C-alpha cells in the first residue's frame, strides 16, 4: 500500500501533471468524445474483471484507471469534480429507494 494521504487536491495535481507531461491538451487527449470512448473502454475492463472473476487487485486497478480518466475529464472540461460530487450527494440524499427487478435502486423516478 502506498503511504500518502488521500486528498482530492493531490490527486488532481497528479493527473494535471500527467496531462502536462504528455501534452494531452495539445495532442487531442482532452477531446471530450475521445475521453468518453476511453471511459467506456475502462468500464468494459471493469466489467471483465467482475464477469471473469479476476482478483480484487485487478478490479481496483481498473477502477483507478476510470477515476484518473474522470479527474482528467474535469480538468479538460474545466469543472470542479469534487464540488460536483458533493452537490450530487446532497441530491442523492433526498431521493427514495425502490426495489427494481429484485435489486435496490436510488434514482429520480418519474412517478415521484
Q: How does pLDDT run across 6-51, given as a tens digit for each residue?
A: 799 999 999 999 999 999 999 999 999 999 999 999 999 999 999 9
Cell numbers representing residue 92 in the block: 442523492
Q: What is the pTM of this model?
A: 0.89
**pLDDT tens digits, one per residue of 56-102:** 999 999 999 999 999 999 999 999 999 999 999 999 999 999 999 99
Is the domain 1-79 a CATH 1.20.1260 member? no
Cα 66 from Cα 72, distance rounded (Å)? 10
**Residue 46 · residue 59 · CB < 8 Å:** yes
CA distance 61 to 86: 24
DSSP code of residue 71: H
Residue 108 to residue 97: CA distance in whole angstroms? 9
**Range(s) within the chain of domains with CATH label 1.10.287:** 1-79
Amino acid at each position: 500500500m502506498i503511504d500518502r494521504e488521500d486528498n482530492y487536491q493531490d490527486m488532481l495535481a497528479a493527473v494535471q501533471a500527467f496531462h502536462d507531461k504528455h501534452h494531452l491538451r495539445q495532442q487531442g487527449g482532452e477531446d471530450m468524445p475521445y475521453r468518453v470512448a476511453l471511459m467506456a473502454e475502462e468500464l468494459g475492463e471493469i466489467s471483465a474483471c467482475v464477469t471473469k472473476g479476476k482478483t480484487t487487485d485487478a478490479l481496483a486497478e481498473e477502477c483507478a484507471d476510470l477515476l484518473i480518466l474522470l479527474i482528467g475529464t474535469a480538468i479538460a472540461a474545466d469543472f470542479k469534480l469534487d464540488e460536483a460530487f458533493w452537490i450530487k450527494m446532497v441530491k442523492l440524499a433526498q431521493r427514495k429507494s425502490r426495489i427494481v427487478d429484485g435489486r435496490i435502486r436510488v434514482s429520480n423516478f418519474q412517478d415521484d
